[in-house]
Amino acid sequence: MIEIPESVRARGYATGNATKQLIVARAAEAFAQTGFYGTSLRAISREAGVDHSTLLHHFGSKVALLLAVLEWHDTQSMPADLPDEVTAEVIVAGFAAVARQNEQTPGLVALLSTLSAEAGASDHPARAALRERHEIIVGIIGSAIRAQRDAGAVADDGLTPEQSAAVAVATWEGLQVYSALHPGELDVPAIVERTLRHALGLS
């Protein structure tokens, strides 16, 4: 059986008030257009029509706001309701859909790639959150690989299911970085789908 964490099933961007939602939406636009370092909190607060102190009250720092934007981005990629039975086909279709949606927000994807590289430093403030993000994705795909192996649908490749899932995720993220440098050369969603189908033993 493929395991989907309850945190993923229940996830929704419940901010608690419209002001936070508006700040996150404006921050997403700003980060996508000018990047993390090129965006100031004062500019975001101005675009959102709130005081700088109000923004800081809700988020505290630019890193915290960025993580809220990434959570919002991930939430937009998720279906409103996950089916009770999450099959390998559902997993592939879901992540392929995310890859297609990512192509519509290249600025945010590039930002996430840059942030992930920076978070390789042990003292980076976003490191823990980004590691958790990876663990969730790897956990979902790894669970699907394990179920497929147990069903005899895919052979053991010498890696644990989670390691095989990590390879698929790293391939996906690497493709996005390459595509940012070489726009239009690769059909990233199609390759992501093919990579996952191979890892899951689907024809």
Alpha carbon distance 59, 72 (integer Å): 14
pLDDT digits (tens, 9 = 90+) for 144-196: 999 999 999 999 999 999 999 999 999 999 999 899 889 899 999 999 999 99
Alpha carbon distance 163, 153 (integer Å): 18
> What is the pTM for the complete model shown?
0.78
Alpha carbon distance 129, 64 (integer Å): 10
Single-letter amino acid code for the residue at 83: P
Single-letter amino acid code for the residue at 188: V
Report all structural domains of the chain as residue ranges with CATH numbers, in order of start: 6-199 (1.10.357.10)
